[in-house]
Structure 1
Amino acid sequence: MNDPFDLRLSRRALLRHLAVAAGATAALPLPGRAALASSGGAPAGTASKAALQYQDQPRGTSACANCANFIAGEDARAPGHCIIVAGDISPRGWCLAYAGNG
C-alpha cells in the first residue's frame, strides 16, 4: 500500500530531485549577471592586474573578449570590465582568471 506519510524515496526519484536542485543552483547567478550587463552597471573586480598577470595581448586564441568573466564595452574594440580583475580591460587582453565561454 502507498502510505502518504512514508518519506522513503526510490533511487530514481532521489536522483531526479538532485538533478533538478543542481540545475536550479547552477542557474542562480545567470539572472543577476544578465541584469548587470543590461543595466550598464559593471561589477567591480577586486583583484589587481599584477596579481593575475594581466597582459594587453591575447594568449593564443584565449582573449578577454571570449572569457566568461568579461563584460564588453560600448563596441567590440572599446575597453570593458571584468568580474574578477579591477580596472579597464582590453578585449584583446588575457590573465590567469581566463575562463572560456563554452
Structure 2
Amino acid sequence: MSTNLTRRRFLQLSAAGATCIPLVSLTGEARAATNQALRAQYKYQDSPVDGKSCTSCLEFIEGSSATAPGRCKLIPGDDEISPNGYCTLWNTM
C-alpha cells in the first residue's frame, strides 16, 4: 500500500513540475547577444552598402523570418545581425 502512495505522490509531483516548465519559459527574458568587438573590427552596420546586404551574403544565417535578425558564421556569439546589414566580410562566393 505504501508503494501506491509513493507512486501517486511521484505522479502528482511530476505533473506539477511539467506544468511549471511552460510558465518558466514564458516569463523568462530572451536575451540577444552581440559581439561588439568583431562588429567594430569588420565595420558592421545595420544598412546595406552599394546593394550589398547580409541577406545576399553566404555567411548569413537567416532568423525566424525574412525580416528578423539572424546570425553570421564569421561573427560568433552574435544573434542580432540585421538582414539589411553589411560588413567588410560580405561574401557571395
Sort the TM-score into its range (normalised by shorter chain): 0.5 to 0.7
Higher helix share: 2
Question: Aligned runs of 1:1-102 on 2, under 5 Å?
Answer: 48-86=38-76, 87=78, 88-100=80-92
- How many residues end up aligned between the 2 structures? 56
Q: TM-score, normalization: structure 1?
A: 0.51
Q: CA deviation at 1:61?
A: 1.0
- What is the CA–CA distance in structure 1 between the aligned matches of 2:75 and 2:89, rounded to whole Å? 8
**For 2:55, what is the secondary structure of its paired residue?**
helix
**For 1:85, what is the secondary structure of its paired residue?**
coil
**For 1:50, what is the secondary structure of its paired residue?**
helix
Residue of structure 2 equivalent to 1:29: none
Q: TM-score, normalization: structure 2?
A: 0.56
Percent identity over the alignment? 38
Computing the radius of gyration from Cα coordinates, the structure with the larger value is 2
